[in-house]
Amino acid sequence: MNETRSPYVGLSSRDAFGKALVEVGTADARVVALTADLGSSVRVAEFARHFPERTFNFGVAEQDMMGAAAGLALGGKMPFVTTYAVFASLRAAEQARTDVAYGNLPVRICASHSGLSIGPGGPTHHSTEDVAIYRTMPNMTVIVPADGVEAAAATRAIADLPGPAYLRLSRAKESTVYTMEDHFAIGVANTVRAGHDLTVIACGSCVGRSLQAAESLSQEGIEVQVVDMATVKPIDRQAIEEAAKATGAILTAEEHTVIGGLGSAVAEVLAEAGLGIRFKRLGLQDCFATTAPYEELLALYGLDARGIAQSVHELLAKSQTS
């Protein structure tokens, strides 16, 4: 079989989203893009150059933008709403819930600068609660792609959804996880590395760093399985249960608070399945992140490759002494 390398390899998820949006818009004239004075930052500018009559800038009025997206969807359009994740999940949360999710409308909320990726922007602009917020909204699909390739595939996939979706994008370029685009399906996890000692279930930028951690741990004789849980909702329950039974220990890794996000979702599945394994959630531990360059923040909160490897060591040590 001939394998075709994706043109999105090496791009950040937000850059890949911007290019994929042009593709989606070219294929379907119903696609419209909405932004709140951040067209360049959220990579809608290229879509606007191609389709100026289908691009709408609402200024600093995210709530109005979300409501308008609902109206456009009711009118038969395919709206892609873009802004920073912190604004999409906090400032416009009521409109996303009541105008969009309540009506089960096909609005795609594509939010950039998620997690800690805005770095020096500080706690007012870090978005570490957004997955938890959108996960609780009925009808909402929540996707956190690992890199640009997966972000492009996810952008195409959500275009066909009959209901709303939240697509979480990073400002910083993620490590390359995929070179092809045929792996992605909504609601299906992807095992990107085999291992038998422990499973790391990660989403977003943490997938690439988990792979880096797994490679370093392999040099110590520790073989870690890495699962990309790009779809946080609906979550792949079968993949979680299989990982628990195969390795007996699971570490979740996310650039998000440990409360309500991927770690909570995985814990819920394990508890309901009655699987009493060793388990740890790696993320922000119920705190606001401080202000610092992005890479320093990752190291501070144990979300870089070294920190993930350390958490693996701690969980394995706990397994051996319990």
pLDDT tens readout for residues 286-304: 999 999 999 999 999 999 9
Rg over alpha carbons for the chain, rounded to the nearest Å, is: 19
Count of domains forming the chain: 2
pLDDT digits (tens, 9 = 90+) for 218-234: 999 999 999 999 999 99
Number of Cβ atoms within 10 Å of the Cβ of 237: 17
Q: Which of 3, 23, 46, 62 is an active site residue? A: 62
- How confident is residue 4, by pLDDT bands cut at 50, 70 and 90? confident
Average pLDDT over residues 122-146: 97
**Within this chain, do residues 151 and 199 fall inside the same structural domain, yes or no?**
no
**Within this chain, do residues 242 and 281 fall inside the same structural domain, yes or no?**
yes
Average pLDDT over residues 239-258: 98
**Within this chain, do residues 157 and 221 fall inside the same structural domain, yes or no?**
no
**Within this chain, do residues 61 and 156 fall inside the same structural domain, yes or no?**
yes
**Within this chain, do residues 163 and 194 fall inside the same structural domain, yes or no?**
no
**Within this chain, do residues 161 and 17 fall inside the same structural domain, yes or no?**
yes
**Within this chain, do residues 142 and 241 fall inside the same structural domain, yes or no?**
no
Strands (DSSP E) along the chain, which ranges? 31-35, 55-57, 78-84, 108-112, 141-143, 165-168, 190-193, 198-202, 224-228, 231-233, 249-257, 278-284
**Quick check: is 251 in a domain?**
yes
Mean pLDDT, the chain, as a whole number? 96
**Quick check: is 36 in a domain?**
yes
**What is the C-alpha to C-alpha distance for residues 282 and 303, in angstroms, rounded to an integer?**
7
Q: Which residue among 168, 200, 220 closes a domain?
A: 168
Half-sphere exposure of 257 (CA within 13 A, CB side): 15
Give the model's pLDDT for residue 182.
84
**What is the C-alpha to C-alpha distance for residues 114 and 138, in angstroms, rounded to an integer?**
22
Give the model's pLDDT for residue 318.
81
83 has pLDDT over 70: yes
Q: Which domain holds residue 86?
A: 13-168
149 has pLDDT over 60: yes
**Within this chain, do residues 133 and 57 fall inside the same structural domain, yes or no?**
yes
**Quick check: is 179 in a domain?**
no
**Within this chain, do residues 164 and 283 fall inside the same structural domain, yes or no?**
no
**Within this chain, do residues 28 and 164 fall inside the same structural domain, yes or no?**
yes
Give the model's pLDDT for residue 321.
54
**What is the C-alpha to C-alpha distance for residues 150 and 11, in angstroms, rounded to an integer?**
10
Are 229 and 262 contacting, i.e. CB atoms less than 8 angstroms apart? yes
Residue 129 known to be catalytic: no
CATH number of residue 92's parent domain: 3.40.50.970
**What is the C-alpha to C-alpha distance for residues 196 and 175, in angstroms, rounded to an integer?**
24
pLDDT digits (tens, 9 = 90+) for 10-27: 999 999 999 999 999 999
Q: Which residue among 168, 200, 228 closes a domain?
A: 168
- How confident is residue 3, by pLDDT bands cut at 50, 70 and 90? low
**What is the C-alpha to C-alpha distance for residues 85 and 166, in angstroms, rounded to an integer?**
10
- How confident is residue 1, by pLDDT bands cut at 50, 70 and 90? very low
**Within this chain, do residues 109 and 33 fall inside the same structural domain, yes or no?**
yes
